[in-house]
Amino acid sequence: MESALVQPWGETAPEGEGLRAWAGKPGRIHTLSELAARLRAEFEGRDVVCPQRLQALMAAYQPASPRDWKPFAKFDRYRYTRNLVDEGDGRYNLMLLCWAEGHGSAIHDHAGAHCVMRILAGSLCEVRFAWPSEHAAALPPEEGEPLQELSKCTLENGDVCYINDSQGLHRVENPSHSERAVSLHLYCPPFGACGVFNQRTGHRSTSHVTFWSRPGDSAGGRVSRRNRPQAPAEDN
C-alpha cells in the first residue's frame, strides 16, 4: 500500500483555466458513474490522497449534456439541497448541490476534509474568511469579533475550486435572482458534522449534515414530500 500519493504527472497543478487544460491528462470523463469509478480507483489502496489529482478528476468531468447529472438535481424552494451521488465505499462523498435563486450556505469549515467543488450550471459566489482568533473564540457570543474576510470570487460554469481548513472558512451562494446554479462537490473523508460561524461575532456552532436525496430514492429518484429528510443543515 502506498503511504503517500505523489503526483504521477510530475508537475504542480495550475489553477483556473490552466487546471482544465492540465486535467486533460487524466482524459475526459463523460459521466458521473465514470467519475465515481475513477475516484474509487484513485482511493484504492491509498492512505493519502493528492488534492490536485482530485481537482483534475473533477475538472475532467465534462459531460456531453446536463442530462448526465440532472437525475441528481433536486431543488427546494427554500434553501439549497445536497444530493448524494456516490459514497465511495466510505472514503469520500460525491454530491450535487442545487442552489435556487439567491440560496446560500452559512459560513462553515470542512471538518478537516478536502473539499473540491466544480460548477455545473450557473455561477456561485465564494467568500472566504479567516478563522476566529483564539481570543475572539474564547469570548462569549455576544462579545465576539467579526470574521475577517479574506477573498471573494465568482465561480463560473466549469470552474473548479478547492478548500480545506488550513485555508480558512467560506460561504457559498448563488447571487442570481433569475438563474439557478448546480455544483458538484467531493469531500474526503466524508463528515457528518461541521462548524458554522456567525459572521458578526465569530461564534461557532456545530451543524449536522444531511442529504436531501440519495441514489435509489423511491419515485425514480424523487423524494416524496412526506418522506423528505429534514432540510439540510447550514453547511456544504
- Closest approach of Fe ion to the CB of residue 143, in Å: 27
> Would you count residue 236 as binding Fe ion (CB under 5 A)?
yes
Least Cα distance to 82 among 191, 155, 206, 179 occurs for: 191
Residue 68 or 124: the one with the smaller Cβ distance to Fe ion is: 124
Tell me which residue has its CB nearest to Fe ion.
Answer: 236
Stretch that binds Fe ion, among 77-85, 90-98, 205-213, 228-236 (CB under 5 A): 228-236
Closer of 52 and 236 to Fe ion (Cβ): 236
Nearer to Fe ion, 93 or 236 (CB): 236
Q: Which helix (DSSP H) or strand (DSSP E) does residue 57 occupy?
A: helix 51-60
Binding track over 177-216 against Fe ion, x by CB under 5 A: ----------------------------------------
- 30 is known to lie in a ligand binding site: no
d(CA 127, CA 3): 34
Return the number of the residue (83 or 236) whose C-beta is nearest Fe ion.
236
Amino acid in position 73: A
Helix 32-43 to helix 51-60 angle, to the nearest 10 degrees? 160
ω into 146 cis (within 30 of 0): no
185 is in an annotated binding site: no
Quote the CA–CA distance of 82 and 225 in Å, as a whole number: 16
CA angle 131, 136, 141 (to 5 degrees): 105
Give the nearer residue to Fe ion in terms of CB position, either 68 or 106: 106
Q: Each residue of 12-27: b (16+ CB within 10 Å) or e? A: ebeeeeebbebbeebe
Any idea how long the chain is?
Answer: 236
Handedness of CA 211, 216, 220, 226 (dihedral sign): negative
Distance of closest approach, residue 79 Cβ to Fe ion, in angstroms: 15
User: Does the annotation list 110 as a binding residue?
Assistant: yes
Place of cell 473548479: 160
> Vertex 129, ends 124 and 131: CA angle to 5°?
140
Number of residues that bind Fe ion (CB under 5 A): 1
Closest CB 170 distance from Fe ion, rounded Å: 6
Closest approach of Fe ion to the CB of residue 47, in Å: 24
Name which of 143 and 149 has its Cβ closer to Fe ion.
Answer: 149
Binding-site positions for Fe cation: 108, 110, 170
List of residues contacting Fe ion (CB under 5 A) = 236
Binding-site positions: 108, 110, 170
